[in-house]
Amino acid sequence: MAAEGENVTGGKEKSDDHASEAVSSDSYTLEALVLIKEAQQQHGLRHGDYQRYRELKNRVTPKKVTPEILTDPRFIQLPLFCAERCWAYAMQLKAEANTEPRKKFHMTARLRKAVHYAEELVALCQSPKCDARTKLECEAYSTWISGSLRFELENWEQAMELFTKAKTIYQKLASAFTEEQQVVYQQRVDEIAPNLRYCAYNIGDESAIIDLQKMRIAAGEDQLSSKLDDLLSQTREKQAATLSEVTWRGRMVPVKVESVRLFLLGVGDAEKELESADTLDSKISIYETLLKQCIDAQQSLRDTLQEDVVFKAAIRGQQVEGKISNQHYLYSYLTYLRLKIAIERNLLLIENLRQYLQGPQMEEGRKVTKPQDLVRLYDIIIQNLGEIPKLHGVEEDSTLEEESNTRIQGFKAYRLFYIARAYSSAKKWTEAIALYQRALDCAQKALTGYKKLTDTQCLKEAQNLKELQGEISGMMYSCHANSILDLSPAGDQAVINVAAERRPLEDRLDEYVEDKSLTGKKPFVASFPPDFEPIPCRPLFFDLALNHVGFPSLEDKLEQGQKKVAGGGITGFVKGWLWGGDKK
């Protein structure tokens, strides 16, 4: 028995939210389903790792617990986790039994052991120390485990009876507690529902398979969806025995590979699922699943064709002449289906992305779809359509080639349309108009070809092309108008410049621009405070009149002075300078 210092999961002692009452309380409560769901989420089952989960439970020492020694609410957890350990081991073996069939016997033995521990749990909870909720929880768990064993043993009637009882108990428990606790019980009810419908199908209810398909569509991508996939594949395995041949393009070929049979049955079921699917995401999920199954079926068929010399030559890209073998032709058919599924999946992706193209109805917070994103998807579609007429065995089928070429022209029109939109968003109006015109030409060629086709899908595509023509015409007129506006100051470029420069209204009174900020609470009419402007400083005054004054000539006086100097010599000059000379 686990020591009292440790809980049953092997950690140190801590407060247990689910073994709720203290030792001294009158009754014990065990929230069995909540407890095991939390343990599963924390220890591997979130990712389907049953081995990690069961190895955790190996820390529990499986000792017999009787009502007489029930002195602690944690004792009730011992048989519960022993049953969980055996169940997890059985689920691990079930996954491995796909490649090792003998492990199925070991799986059944572990489930029987789990049922044994679950029955011990129910007997232990009959003690008066356990309250009514604990008894109901343990009874529902034991019934569910027993139903799982009968389910694996293909005892459909007993399994259905036990699953129905477990579902009823869990529904009552869900209605008795808060909304938070109801989620766990409702999840278990949802897990039981597919098993019930599968049991009903095996008992003889043919409509049950339709219910399983609807559950698969609503499940999305979670653990329940993988469980539903397993049940649907088991159903198809039984139906596959009746599918022995398939007809394509007028040629009938036998279907010998089991995985190919299952895939071909899945194609028929997928068409019904698509009709009942409500959202684009659910339809895309169906196509994704179908595409994976097709790739697996192709690989299985390719493995059986390793000895076919013609097939090997074809795979290497060599020219194939003459009639190919039936299995080689079947491989071409699977390739055709893969390309067709990929095209339809991509068309749904395009439809989904179109909702988020930038426009006036665009929701805030949504990632805007660029036209380039749609161009890439149309490129893939055109490439896939181009591969179809080249498939081995149908090279001379002129009808298939004509249909593919017509559809290629139609999707080229869409591709050119979105390339033109990309140029238009960059304001390259001339290039955009030229591309729109080419898109119109491709659309017209495609519509001429569609008149010869009567397929429902082709008629729908022709109708969409007619709508595209009207949209292209409108876009061309818009590009013409924008190109003219760009030539005037009042064009879009002026709006961009104003937005970038943020010029006030006083600086652009002679320009007409739709500026919504002027009608707001803070219109940008003038700059305030005004910017500094340079002004001249105070001038300096200079006397410039002297430059224009004419003085009298002094030449006569200069001549007299020179004569005196010349007559007296140096002595006279000095004398005159010192004593003022002669005075007259």
Q: Which percentage of the chain shows pLDDT scores above 70?
A: 79
**Pairing status of strand 245-248 against strand 251-254:** antiparallel
User: What confidence score (pLDDT) does residue 146 get?
Assistant: 93
Q: What is the DSSP letter of 19?
A: B
| Mean pLDDT confidence for 144-172 | 90
User: What confidence score (pLDDT) does residue 576 get?
Assistant: 54
| CA-atom Rg of the chain in angstroms | 46
pLDDT digit string, tens, across residues 260-303: 888 888 887 788 778 877 788 888 888 998 899 899 999 999 98
Give every CB contact of residue 342 below 8 A, 6+ residues apart in sequence: 291, 380, 384
| Mean pLDDT confidence for 512-532 | 82
Q: What is the mean pLDDT of the chain?
A: 79
Q: Quick check: 16 pLDDT over 80?
A: no
Most confidently modeled range among 147-156, 180-189, 358-367: 147-156
Q: Which of 426, 456, 489 is the last residue of a domain?
A: 489
**Encoded tokens for 536:** 């001249």
Read off the pLDDT band of 180 (50, 70, 90). Answer: confident
> To which residue do tokens 């808060």 refer?
178
Q: Say if CB 392 and CB 381 are below 8 A apart.
A: no
| Mean pLDDT confidence for 449-466 | 89
Q: Which run of H or of E encompasses 408? A: helix 398-425
Q: Quick check: 215 pLDDT over 80?
A: no
End-to-end CA distance of the chain: 158
User: What confidence score (pLDDT) does residue 350 get?
Assistant: 92
Residue 423 covered by a domain: yes
Read off the pLDDT band of 237 (50, 70, 90). Answer: low
Cα–Cα distance measured from residue 458 to residue 366, given in angstroms and rounded to the nearest whole number = 33
Q: Which of 456, 489, 522 is the last residue of a domain?
A: 489
Residue 467 covered by a domain: yes
User: What confidence score (pLDDT) does residue 383 get?
Assistant: 95
Q: Quick check: 9 pLDDT over 70?
A: no
Residue 378 covered by a domain: no
Q: Which region among 97-101, 137-141, 192-196, 392-396 has the lowest average model confidence (pLDDT)? A: 97-101
User: What confidence score (pLDDT) does residue 95 get?
Assistant: 83
| Domain encompassing residue 446 | 397-489
Residue 382 covered by a domain: no
Give every CB contact of residue 479 below 8 A, 6+ residues apart in sequence: 424, 429, 432, 433, 436
Q: Which of 489, 511, 534 is the last residue of a domain?
A: 489
Residue 387 covered by a domain: no
**Encoded tokens for 139:** 């009874």
Read off the pLDDT band of 550 (50, 70, 90). Answer: confident
Which amino acid would we find at residue 513?
V
User: What confidence score (pLDDT) does residue 76 get?
Assistant: 85
CATH number (domain holding residue 439): 1.20.58
Cα–Cα distance measured from residue 343 to residue 352, given in angstroms and rounded to the nearest whole number = 14
Read off the pLDDT band of 456 (50, 70, 90). Answer: confident
User: What confidence score (pLDDT) does residue 268 get?
Assistant: 77
Residue 324 covered by a domain: no
Residue 74 covered by a domain: yes
Cα–Cα distance measured from residue 430 to residue 480, given in angstroms and rounded to the nearest whole number = 8
| Mean pLDDT confidence for 379-383 | 95
Cα–Cα distance measured from residue 69 to residue 65, given in angstroms and rounded to the nearest whole number = 7
Read off the pLDDT band of 439 (50, 70, 90). Answer: very high
Q: What's the gap between Cα 462 and its chain centre? A: 29
- Structural domain count, the chain: 2
Which has more confidence, 212 or 112?
112
Which has more confidence, 143 or 554?
143
CATH number (domain holding residue 127): 1.10.3450.40
Residue 22 covered by a domain: no
Q: Say if CB 83 and CB 121 are below 8 A apart.
A: yes
